Structure 1
Amino acid sequence: MLYDTISVSLTDGVGLITLNRPEVMNALSSAMRAELRAAVTDLGRTARVLVLTGAGRAFCSGQDLGDAAAIDALDLERILREEYEPLLHAINDCPVPTIAAVNGIAAGAGANLALAADVVIATESAAFIQAFTRIGLIPDAGGTYWLPRQIGMARAMAAALFADRVSARQAADWGMIYECVADADFAGHWQARAATLASGPTLAYRGVKQAMRASFANDLPGQLALEARLQGLCGQSRDFREGVAAFLEKRPPRFQGR
């Protein structure tokens, strides 16, 4: 498939999607949302890990507001329900691990697009901004879902109300993201992280995602039952047998994945 607003590649199991509208800091247009959803769905079937990043100096500046004269005709509820929700579900339900490699500013819906990934790795000069109240809106694109779970209600509420700039270092300290990496090391670091996941046991990774996400809705008996079921499936896999053999033979495992 040919894309106009993103670029897509698949190398050694690593599916890379780059938001590619640097002239507008990768603002999310309707076309970009559709292309992102298609690319995430497609690479979820073929890649072993999926990476989202941005071209230029920003990861994503959020919703493309376009011409101010068209604001009165902007149906935000329709856009969220018909365009953002399917995209966020595609990322959340992706069967392989997802990494957001945040290379610069992630603002508004762009910040929450990053937070939808399984792992967020940001360069030190990046920042996250829940910019919505600056223009009279509430956080959307999953922001009111991800943030309280990741950083607690007190920080989530203040970040949303004040629309403060949260540096990548602060985001890592808060638990909003997994890692903040020096700018000079950023590209090599996320590429190494992606390569690690691409060479790993894909069935186990899928089970990790399913079990972790279910834990918020389950009670202890329900979660223990889910763990047992998923572990039973993993225990029947060739990657489990290979992992045990590698451990006993004191060598790196050679996981085949799906």
Structure 2
Amino acid sequence: MNAAVQLDVQDGVALMTLSRPETGNAVSQDVADGLLAAALVCESDDKVRSVLLTAQGTAFCVGGDVRAFAEAGDGMPTLVRSLTASLHMAVVRLARMDKPLVTAVNGAAAGAGLGLAVLGDIALAARSAKFTSAYGALGLTPDAGATWLLPRLVGLRQAQRLLLLNERIDAVEAERIGLITQVFEDDALAAEALERASRLAKAPRRAFGRTRGLLYAAMANGLETQLELEAQSIAEAAGSREGREGVAAFVSRRSADFGSI
């Protein structure tokens, strides 16, 4: 890891923290590279059973490091390509890993920060959090998966509103339109997010990994294709150690122990 993104694994939960609070956790090359390195660890480390992404300071992530863009001058396209190469690979790894992702949005989420904020399977926000695309004000276009995620989360009309009108919405509005899962008071967010990540860490990791994959696949598949994928997946799950443990626990009227599987 680098100093821009911290990673701490405790009791199955990987706490991934954006750690450039003095810049609003703006996405520099260091942040993009740090996100990728952390995502690769989370994806491959069997001790990690769920991931919690949050940030230090009063902002979650204000988007790209615009000062670095300006300083790059004519080299800005090369800088942006390098930055998005790491950032987008990190997004893909976090989306495709067989572990659920919780995001805890502790403040402003703009630009790439918006894409990261809503990437969570469970996306939680502090009441003070604000969400905006910000790209249009800079003459830029979206990244970090925003044009893929937003229409699927909130519909095309709301995505157009957010990305073209550049409206800033608060956490309550974000919850109302389905951009995030739930809002909490600022001082409760960290504990609530950790509780959910810890709960997910005790869940059947591989079954939830398959469920994540099915949900993403459903966005592109027809009904028959999706039903076939569901049939294959549940049959595989039924033959797995998780499936056998879950069924045995249900019949025995005890809590299933997925953590050691």
TM bin (shorter chain): over 0.9
Q: Pick the aligned partner of 1:74 from 66, 69, 76.
A: 76
Q: Residues 71 and 257 (structure 1 numbering): CA distance in 2 closer, same or farther, change over 3 Å?
A: farther
Residue 22 of structure 2 corresponds to 23
Residue 39 of structure 1: SS of its match in structure 2? helix
TM-score, length-normalised on structure 1?
0.94
Range moving further from structure 2, 2-11 or 205-214 = 2-11
Shift of 1:83: 2.7
Range moving further from structure 2, 240-249 or 14-23 = 240-249
Residue-by-residue CA offset, 1:51-74 (whole Å, 9 max, x unaligned): 110001111111012253434420
The CA RMSD over aligned residues, in Å, is 1.6
Residue-by-residue CA offset, 1:19-76 (whole Å, 9 max, x unaligned): 0000001111111111110111112222000111000111111101225343442016
Q: Residues 145 and 139 (structure 1 numbering): CA distance in 2 closer, same or farther, change over 3 Å?
A: same
Say if 2:54 and 2:103, in contact at 8 Å, map to a contact too: yes
What is the 5 A alignment of 1:46-65?
A: 46=45, 47-65=48-66
Distance across 1 between alignment mates of 2:106 and 2:257: 31
Residue 121 of structure 1: SS of its match in structure 2? strand
Residue-by-residue CA offset, 1:135-185 (whole Å, 9 max, x unaligned): 112222211111111111111101111211111111111011111112232
Distance across 1 between alignment mates of 2:233 and 2:127: 37
Residue 74 of structure 1: SS of its match in structure 2? helix
Shift of 1:251: 2.6
Q: Residues 234 and 62 (structure 1 numbering): CA distance in 2 closer, same or farther, change over 3 Å?
A: same
Code of the aligned partner of 1:221? E
Q: Which stretches in structure 1 are left out of the alignment for 5+ residues?
A: none
Say if 1:202 and 1:257, in contact at 8 Å, map to a contact too: no
Residue 175 of structure 2 corresponds to 172
Say if 1:239 and 1:257, in contact at 8 Å, map to a contact too: no
2:215 is equivalent to residue 215 of structure 1: no
Distance across 1 between alignment mates of 2:103 and 2:187: 18
Shift of 1:77: 5.7
Distance across 2 between alignment mates of 1:242 and 1:181: 34
Shift of 1:85: 2.2
Say if 1:239 and 1:256, in contact at 8 Å, map to a contact too: no
Q: Pick the aligned partner of 2:120 from 114, 117, 120.
A: 117
Distance across 2 between alignment mates of 1:247 and 1:82: 45
Q: Which stretches in structure 2 are left out of the alignment for 5+ residues?
A: none
Shift of 1:80: 5.9
Range moving further from structure 2, 15-24 or 247-256 = 247-256
Residue 39 of structure 1 corresponds to 38
Shift of 1:95: 2.0
Residue 129 of structure 2 corresponds to 126
Shift of 1:255: 1.3
Shift of 1:254: 1.3
Code of the aligned partner of 1:44? E
2:239 is equivalent to residue 236 of structure 1: yes
Say if 2:32 and 2:84, in contact at 8 Å, map to a contact too: no
Residue-by-residue CA offset, 1:107-149 (whole Å, 9 max, x unaligned): 1111112222322111111111111111112222211111111
TM-score, length-normalised on structure 2?
0.93
Residue 131 of structure 1: SS of its match in structure 2? coil
Q: How many corresponding residue pairs?
A: 257
